[in-house]
């Protein structure tokens, strides 16, 4: 009987993929009530008690193997049925894996870093959570200056001396306090203001600050540096215009417009039909700010400028709503490709 069991085990083992009808025939042949395996169980009853233990185990193994084999063969057909019911084509090539793209603000920030890097500016950063001294006082903001107002500045609730920096000009102070001149650096980073979110304003945005301190630095150097930047960023045909302005930490102060890169100065809705768009604030560093940082204002002079990365990115790509930058909708983000 053991030989017979062995023979059936090998036989079942050897069965290869077959049709669904054949699987059913196999089940009938081996496992149905009148099948070969139940017949062996009948014979088993007549065995002498001494053999029952060993043969019983073998017989159970045979039955389990046969059941497993039949289930296995059947499951192939069930899988195939599911695939065709779902109309899945398993031979179809997989979809493309799309490489990520850089955020448009990162592309423009990196371009700004590159443009200034070519004329010797290095990059530094400072903390986003700042103290009153670095964000305001050292920059010559008087105690009652409107920019300190609750409407503009996020204060830390437990300590009004600590703020979220409202501009990257705070990094100027940190650098002037710790780096001896000459200084030629830019400071890109995030800034925060308590503004209602709209297409034109946000409570968090990005700036790049520039600082150049040395002996004999003049306004002409500032103008030439900014003209170089504008042409590199917006194209050789770009014109610049400096208008007098006021910032507590620069004297004289100015704001710079570039000729509208959309209409070339003819007038369009981006430049509000003026032909010019404002892109930055600038000026000669106020001697009081230099002295606040321990730099002798009789020996050194310098200039500073600060620009909004969002604004430049909007002009470059004709984006009309600031909120798009922060929603991270991939349909928006994947439109931007750049070398940087
Ligand atoms: N910090 C100014 C702002 O956020 C921008 C600015 C103006 C920066 C003049 C400067 C500067 O360095 O000289 O509006």
CB of 209 shorter than 6 A to ligand 1? yes
CA-based angle 276:280:286, to the nearest 5? 135
Please write the tens of the pLDDT for every residue from 131-171: 999 999 999 998 888 878 766 899 999 998 999 999 999 99
The sign of the torsion formed by the CA atoms of 117, 110, 170, 316 equals positive
Q: Which of 19-28, 81-90, 169-178 has the lowest mean pLDDT?
A: 81-90
Q: What is the arithmetic mean of pLDDT over 13-23?
A: 81
CB of 255 shorter than 6 A to ligand 1? no
CB of 170 shorter than 6 A to ligand 1? no
Q: Separation of 285 CA from ligand 1 center, angstroms?
A: 11
Q: Separation of 142 CA from ligand 1 center, angstroms?
A: 16
Q: Is the pLDDT of residue 208 over 70?
A: yes
CATH pick for 104-336 out of 3.30.930.10, 3.40.50.970, 3.40.225.10, 3.40.50.620: 3.30.930.10
Q: Separation of 305 CA from ligand 1 center, angstroms?
A: 6
Distance, in Å, from the CA atom of 301 to the CA atom of 298, rounded to the nearest integer, reads 8
Contacts with 210 (C-beta within 8 Å, 6 or more apart), sequence order: 116, 121, 185, 186, 187, 225, 303, 304, 305, 306
The number of angstroms, rounded, from the C-alpha of 19 to the middle of its chain's C-alpha atoms is 53
CB of 188 shorter than 6 A to ligand 1? no
pLDDT at 150: 67
Q: Is the pLDDT of residue 242 over 90?
A: yes
Distance, in Å, from the CA atom of 249 to the CA atom of 264, rounded to the nearest integer, reads 33
pLDDT at 131: 96
Q: Which of 38-47, 221-230, 271-280 has the lowest mean pLDDT?
A: 38-47
Please write the tens of the pLDDT for every residue from 284-296: 999 999 999 999 9
Q: Whose CA is nearest to atom 3 of ligand 1?
A: 167
CB of 37 shorter than 6 A to ligand 1? no
pLDDT at 339: 52
Of 239, 231, 220, 238, whose CA–CA distance to 282 is shortest? 220
**Residue 9: which H helix or E strand, with range?**
helix 2-13
Q: Note the pTM of the prediction, 2 decimals.
A: 0.73
Are residues 187 and 167 in contact, defined by beta-carbon separation less than 8 angstroms?
no
CB of 282 shorter than 6 A to ligand 1? yes
Do β-strands 183-192 and 122-123 pair in parallel, antiparallel, or remain unpaired? parallel
Q: Separation of 338 CA from ligand 1 center, angstroms?
A: 28
The number of angstroms, rounded, from the C-alpha of 118 to the middle of its chain's C-alpha atoms is 26
pLDDT at 338: 62
CB of 30 shorter than 6 A to ligand 1? no
The 240-247 sheet, strands edge to edge: 122-123, 183-192, 204-214, 301-308, 276-285, 250-259, 240-247
DSSP category for residue 16: -
Structure tokens at 145: 């200056």
């Amino acid at each position: 009987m053991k030989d017979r069991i062995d023979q059936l085990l090998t036989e079942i083992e050897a069965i290869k993929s077959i049709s669904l009808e054949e699987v059913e025939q196999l089940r009938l042949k081996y496992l149905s009530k009148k099948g070969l395996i139940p017949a062996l169980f009948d014979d088993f009853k007549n065995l002498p008690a001494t053999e029952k233990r060993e043969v019983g185990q073998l017989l159970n193994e045979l039955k389990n193997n046969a059941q497993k084999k039949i289930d296995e063969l059947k499951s192939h057909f069930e899988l195939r049925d599911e695939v065709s019911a779902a109309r899945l084509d398993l031979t179809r090539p997989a979809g493309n894996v799309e490489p990520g793209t850089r955020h448009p603000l990162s592309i423009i920030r990196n371009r700004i870093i590159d443009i200034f890097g070519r004329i010797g500016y290095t990059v530094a950063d400072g903390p986003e959570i700042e103290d009153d001294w670095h964000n305001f006082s050292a920059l010559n903001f008087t105690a009652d200056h409107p920019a300190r107002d609750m409407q503009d500045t996020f204060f830390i609730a437990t300590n009004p001396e600590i703020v979220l920096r409202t501009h990257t000009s705070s990094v100027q102070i940190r650098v002037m306090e710790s780096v001896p001149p000459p200084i030629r650096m830019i400071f890109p980073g995030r800034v925060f203001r308590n503004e209602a979110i709209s297409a034109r304003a946000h409570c968090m945005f990005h700036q790049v600050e520039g600082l150049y301190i040395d002996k004999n630095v003049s306004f002409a150097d500032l103008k030439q540096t900014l003209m170089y930047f504008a042409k590199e960023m917006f194209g050789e045909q770009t014109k610049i215009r400096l208008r007098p302005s006021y910032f507590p930490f620069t004297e004289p102060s100015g704001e710079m417009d570039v000729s509208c890169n959309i209409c070339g100065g003819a007038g369009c809705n981006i430049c509000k039909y003026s032909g010019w768009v404002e892109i930055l604030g600038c000026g000669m560093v106020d001697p009081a700010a230099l002295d606040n940082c321990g730099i002798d204002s009789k020996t050194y002079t310098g200039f500073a400028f600060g620009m909004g990365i969002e604004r430049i990115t909007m002009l470059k790509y004709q984006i009309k709503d600031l909120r798009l930058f922060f929603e991270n909708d991939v349909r928006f983000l994947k439109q931007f490709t750049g070398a940087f």
